[in-house]
Structure 1
Amino acid sequence: MALLRITLTTEENKTLQELEVADSVPRRTKQRATALRLNGTEWKVKAIALIFKKRSHDQQLNCI
């Protein structure tokens, strides 16, 4: 299986950072921006998925 890896320019990374902290951006978009940035810093897809799975589980617990 081929690795899923992206390379971000400085400008692309900055744009994704801005999306992550913007108040007007939906949560899902912020999560996607974070995932892209992590992948751009050579995190493995599996590790990124585990982080978001844990965050999703934690958010569900907070709703109870």
Structure 2
Amino acid sequence: MAVPKKKTSRSRRNMRRSHFALSKVNVIVDSQTGEYKLPHHVSLVDGTYNNRQVVTKKIKTEEEVA
């Protein structure tokens, strides 16, 4: 079984962890609905992108619900 030959110092440990930081997610407010959304993505609320309707919502029938 492999074991470390030397103890990893605090400096080396922290330098290794320096790339683990999380970055903030860029979120914008949709101009039509006022909901938050990711930039350059279709709005999940009404299916619009760049003020155009690109996705239509499917209406569930009573048979699909039951």
Higher relative contact order (CA 8 A, sep 6+): 1
TM-score by length of 1: 0.23
The structure whose residues are more often helix, as a share, is 1
Whose Rg is larger?
A: 2
TM-score by length of 2: 0.22
The structure whose residues are more often strand, as a share, is 2
